Structure 1
Amino acid sequence: MTRVLYGDSRALARAEDQGFVHCVRDDASLETFLKEGRDTILVHAESPEGVIRRYPRLASANVTFEAAA
């Protein structure tokens, strides 16, 4: 299962600083990360619903959503 961290730019920057370096920039990077089985990916969005709107593929993926601290 992949953990999807979502948040604003500052929250994602903090998460990257903590070692979560797999930031989704586009559909291609999302597919790559999912195929590679990354543990944690970062998405710039305000909510889980925002993540799904931006990347509908995640609606059917084996993922959990958490707000980036």
Structure 2
Amino acid sequence: MSMKEWVKAQGLSYRQLASDMGVSASQLCKKLNRQSAWQEDDLVWFSDHYGLSADFVIGCSEEPYRVGVA
């Protein structure tokens, strides 16, 4: 699953999610389409609000949530 697919599966609109994050919908769209890089603040925000791993958000993992961290 990609970040873009995850957003859709959660029933989130780009506009609402962008507003919640404090960014514009166009900025969010560019990040979801890999035309712009995610920032550290974005990764922390997704972790804090949805429990998503940074690896998933940036596209290095297909698993949205951290699993079995020792």
Q: Does TM, scored on the shorter chain, surpass 0.5?
A: no
In our comparison, the structure showing a higher alpha carbon Rg is 2
Higher relative helix content: 2
Q: Report the TM-score range of the alignment, normalised by the length of the smaller protein.
A: under 0.3
| TM-score normalised over the length of structure 2 | 0.28
